[in-house]
């Protein structure tokens, strides 16, 4: 909600959105071991999506609800639970659905470049080197299936948390 914070973070967000994933992977590989690389890259690629969507949700909040909360002197905790979260959660759901797929793509790309031992990315790279097309397709299908299952489970978890917060 702070204009100073928005201005401060807008440049790193813009840089993160426009820099190719491969460039980040190679740069970050200098400082982070390859076994941790995919987690960091996944976070880095999904953060701008989630931040932008939540910011949009905060910007589109119903100002009348905030005025009502002020009139009834609601505590900040109650404002967050009953006004902010319900207003922002649809934007977060959209961001989570989009960024989950992005996380898998970026994370696997990081594994292909960083090649940590025993990773799917290492197996994809080996399949490419040895022209093992069936294995390449098998790993790709595995990634797609795991990504879909994870995304659905995550959305069920988000819905469960929201139902608990709303008292359902």
Mean pLDDT confidence for 131-135: 94
Decide if pLDDT at 8 tops 70: yes
Q: 40-69: per-residue pLDDT in tens? A: 999 999 999 999 999 999 999 888 988 898
CA distance 53 to 34: 30
Quick one: DSSP state of residue 118? Answer: T
Cβ 154 vs Cβ 98: under 8 Å: no
Does residue 1 surpass a pLDDT of 70? no
Let me know: does 106 contact 22? Beta carbons within 8 Å.
Answer: no
CA pair distance 141, 44, nearest whole angstrom: 25
Q: 98 with 49: CB under 8 angstroms?
A: yes
What's the rounded mean pLDDT across residues 100-122?
Answer: 92
Residue 38 pLDDT class (50, 70, 90 cuts): very high
Average pLDDT for 16-28: 92
Q: Across the chain, what does the average pLDDT equal?
A: 90
- What's the predicted TM-score (pTM) here? 0.82
Q: What is the DSSP string of 88-137?
A: HHHHHHHHHHHHHHHHHHHHHHHHHHH--TT-HHHHHHHHHHTT-HHHHH
CATH annotation of 3-165: 1.10.3720.10
For the segment 75-97, what is each residue's pLDDT rounded down to a tens digit? 999 888 888 888 898 899 899 98
- Residue 39 has a pLDDT of 93
């Amino acid at each position: 909600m702070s204009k100073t914070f928005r201005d401060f973070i807008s440049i790193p967000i813009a840089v993160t959105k426009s820099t190719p994933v491969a460039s980040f992977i190679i740069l970050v590989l200098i400082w982070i071991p390859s076994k941790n690389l995919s987690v960091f890259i996944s976070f880095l690629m999904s953060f701008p999506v989630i931040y932008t969507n939540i910011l949009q949700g905060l910007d589109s909040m119903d100002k009348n609800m905030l005025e009502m909360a002020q009139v009834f002197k609601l505590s900040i905790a109650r404002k967050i639970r009953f006004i902010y979260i319900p207003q922002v959660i649809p934007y977060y759901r959209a961001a989570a659905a989009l960024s989950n797929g992005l996380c898998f793509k970026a994370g696997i790309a990081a594994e292909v470049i960083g090649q940590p031992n025993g990773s799917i990315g290492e197996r994809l790279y080996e399949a490419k080197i040895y022209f093992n097309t069936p294995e390449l397709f098998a790993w790709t299908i595995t990634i797609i299936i795991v990504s879909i299952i994870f995304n659905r489970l995550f959305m069920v978890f988000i819905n469960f948390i929201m139902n608990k917060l709303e008292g359902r």
